[in-house]
Amino acid sequence: MKGDDRKAAVDAYKERKVAAGIYAVRCEPLGECWVGRAPDLATIQNRLWFTLRQGSNPHRSLQAAWRAHGPEAFSFAVLEQLEDEDIAYVRDRALKDRLAHWAATLRATTI
C-alpha cells in the first residue's frame, strides 16, 4: 500500500501547475526591499531562506542584512503571478520585463 501512496504523490507532484512570477523580500528594520523572478513561486521562499540560513546566498546585501537582523526581520510576498506560458523564452522575457518594472516601482535591488 505504501508504494501506491508514494506513486500517487509523485504523480500528483508532476501534474501540479507551476506558477512563475515576481516576488519581494523585505527587511523591516532597514526598510530595504529585494525583488526577484522565479519559474516556480511555490518553492522560491524555501530556497531563499535555506541559502540565507546557510550563509550561502549569492546576493551580498541580502545576506548581510539577514546576518545583521535575523530571519524574524524579513518578509516574503508574491508581487505578480504570470499567466501560464508554455514557451520558455516567452515566459523568461516576460519575467525579465516584469522584474525591471517592480524593481523600478519599489526602488528595490534585483536578486
| Domains within the chain, CATH numbers bracketed | 20-110 (3.40.1440.10)
Per-residue confidence (pLDDT) for residue 2, from 0 to 100? 72
Per-residue confidence (pLDDT) for residue 109, from 0 to 100? 95
Amino acid at 14: K
Exposed, middle or buried by CB within 10 Å (0-12, 13-18, 19+), for 100? middle
Tens of pLDDT, residue by residue over 39-91, are: 999 999 999 999 999 999 999 999 999 999 999 999 999 999 987 766 778 88
18 vs 99, which has greater pLDDT?
Answer: 99
* Percent of the chain at pLDDT exceeding 90: 72
In DSSP terms, which residues pair with 23 in a beta bridge? Answer: 36, 78
